[in-house]
């Protein structure tokens, strides 16, 4: 869900903005830019050198891991920061990428506001890992499953949103599959429901954690292990 990482910004028209950005990039050949993608919610950010700009397309020399994720995402974010040559966040669509040659050609640029930089915690996707949840809501126990998780909170997939309202305080029991032995690790946490997204099953429920020290340590261990797994997967993909 790449679109969740940024807001698109239009200043003139999309075509006009693209021409302005290309004209800017023509004067930046040889400069280094900060690329950003996400692989299973883990940020992948390496420097990329602008090699050439021609026919509204820009060719970059990129890191091999970045190349693989760009090939999956079909887009790349270009971050504006203190040492960056770009004054604004940008997004470019992929016209061509070659992982072996570590090259990518981007086109159809537009301005953006990267929202994912505001995250306080790293999220991880669980893929096929078993991750069941019991939501203790009033006098009911509502089953759910984890979409992604961080130390700050969790996104749950629920089939019935009855009684799930933003602002409500609830308790969760997370049943997370441990990688090392496929056993289930149960972690309890107090939470606040912050958002309910969707208009038909399955709904996405976003909750903020208020864990005690023991739960926080257990969550940190699990998330760290999952990060290690995802990074290992990325390295294998890029080999």
Determine the pLDDT at residue 2: 40
Determine the pLDDT at residue 49: 97
Mean pLDDT of 147-159: 93
CB contact at 8 A, 35 and 69: no
Considering only 15-24, 25-34, 54-63, 154-163, which range has the smallest mean pLDDT? Answer: 154-163
Q: Give residues with Cβ within 8 angstroms of 179, minimum separation 6.
A: 129, 225, 226, 229
Instruction: Report helix angle 64-73 to 213-238, nearest 10.
Output: 100
Provide φ and ψ at 146, rounded to 5°: -85, 130
Percent of the chain at pLDDT > 90 equals 76
Instruction: Give, as one character, the DSSP assignment of residue 199.
Output: S
Q: Round the CA-based radius of gyration of the chain to a whole number and report it.
A: 21
Q: Is 183 helix (H, G, I), strand (E, B) or coil?
A: coil
Mean pLDDT of 140-160: 93
Considering only 38-47, 63-72, 78-87, 160-169, which range has the smallest mean pLDDT? Answer: 78-87
Determine the pLDDT at residue 126: 86
**DSSP bridge partners of 60:** 50, 104
Determine the pLDDT at residue 239: 54
Confidence grade of residue 198 (pLDDT, cut at 50, 70, 90): confident
Whether the CA torsion 46, 50, 54, 59 is positive or negative: it is negative
Confidence grade of residue 71 (pLDDT, cut at 50, 70, 90): very high
Farthest-apart Cα atoms in the chain, separation: 64
Number of Cβ atoms within 10 Å of the Cβ of 164? 20
Mean pLDDT of 120-140: 88
Mean pLDDT of 180-196: 88
Structure tokens at 143: 């089953």
pLDDT in tens, 199-229: 777 899 999 999 999 999 999 999 999 999 9
CB contact at 8 A, 125 and 40: yes
Mean pLDDT of 177-191: 83
CB contact at 8 A, 58 and 106: yes
CB contact at 8 A, 73 and 62: no
CB contact at 8 A, 202 and 177: no
Percent of the chain at pLDDT > 70 equals 95
The pairing of beta strand 90-98 with beta strand 6-9: unpaired
Q: How far apart are CA 12 and CA 175, in angstroms?
A: 49
Query: Is the predicted pLDDT of residue 154 greater than 70, yes or no?
Result: yes
Determine the pLDDT at residue 115: 84
């Amino acid at each position: 869900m790449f679109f969740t990482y940024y807001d698109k910004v239009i200043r003139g028209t999309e075509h006009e903005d693209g021409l302005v950005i290309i004209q800017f990039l023509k004067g930046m050949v040889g400069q280094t830019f900060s690329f950003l993608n996400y692989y299973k919610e883990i940020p992948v950010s390496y420097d990329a050198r602008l090699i050439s700009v021609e026919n509204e397309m820009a060719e970059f020399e990129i890191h091999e891991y970045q190349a693989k994720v760009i090939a999956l995402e079909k887009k790349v974010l270009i971050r504006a920061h203190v040492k960056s040559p770009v004054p604004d966040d940008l997004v470019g669509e992929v016209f061509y990428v070659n992982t072996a040659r570590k090259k990518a050609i981007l086109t159809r640029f537009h301005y953006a506001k990267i929202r994912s930089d505001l995250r306080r915690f790293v999220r991880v996707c669980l893929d096929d890992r078993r991750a069941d949840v019991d939501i203790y809501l009033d006098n009911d126990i509502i089953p759910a499953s984890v979409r992604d998780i961080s130390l700050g909170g969790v996104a749950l997939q629920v089939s019935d949103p009855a009684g799930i309202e933003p602002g409500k305080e609830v308790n969760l029991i997370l049943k997370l599959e441990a990688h090392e032995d496929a056993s289930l690790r149960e972690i309890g946490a107090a939470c606040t429901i912050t958002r309910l997204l969707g208009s038909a099953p399955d709904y996405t429920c976003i909750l903020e954690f208020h864990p005690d020290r023991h739960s926080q340590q257990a969550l940190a261990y699990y998330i760290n292990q999952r990060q290690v797994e995802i990074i290992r997967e990325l390295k294998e993909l890029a080999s």
